[in-house]
Amino acid sequence: MNLFRKNKIILMDIDGVIAPISRIDEPFTTVTTPWSTFIIPNKILSFLSEIINKKGFYWSSTWGELSNFINSEFDIRDSQFLTFDDNDSNMWLKEKTLVNFCNKNKKAHILIVDDELPSDSELHTLSNVEIITPDPSFGLTKIECDKIEKWLK
Say if pTM beats, i.e. exceeds, 0.85: yes
Per-residue DSSP letters for the chain? ---PPTTEEEEE--BTTTB-SS--SS-EEEEE-SS-EEEEEHHHHHHHHHHTTSTTEEE-STTGGGGHHHHHHTT-PPPEE-------SSS-TTHHHHHHHHHHTTTSEEEEE-TT--TT-GGGG-TTEEEE---TTT-S-HHHHHHHHHHH-
Given a cut of 80, whether residue 3 has pLDDT beyond it is no
Backbone angles phi, psi at 5, to 5 degrees: -95, 170
pLDDT at position 132 is 97
Spatial distance between the Cα atoms of 70 and 52, rounded to a whole number of angstroms:
11
- Going by pLDDT thresholds of 50, 70 and 90, the confidence category of residue 2 is very low
pLDDT at position 6 is 65
Average pLDDT, whole number, for the chain? 87
Read off the pLDDT of residues 119-142 as tens digits, 9 standing for 90 and up. 999 999 999 999 999 999 999 999
Spatial distance between the Cα atoms of 146 and 153, rounded to a whole number of angstroms:
11
Read off the pLDDT of residues 70-114 as tens digits, 9 standing for 90 and up. 888 778 888 999 998 776 566 688 999 999 999 999 999 999 999
Q: How far apart are the first and last CA of the chain?
A: 11
Given a cut of 70, whether residue 5 has pLDDT beyond it is no
- Going by pLDDT thresholds of 50, 70 and 90, the confidence category of residue 31 is confident
pLDDT at position 124 is 96
Given a cut of 70, whether residue 17 has pLDDT beyond it is yes
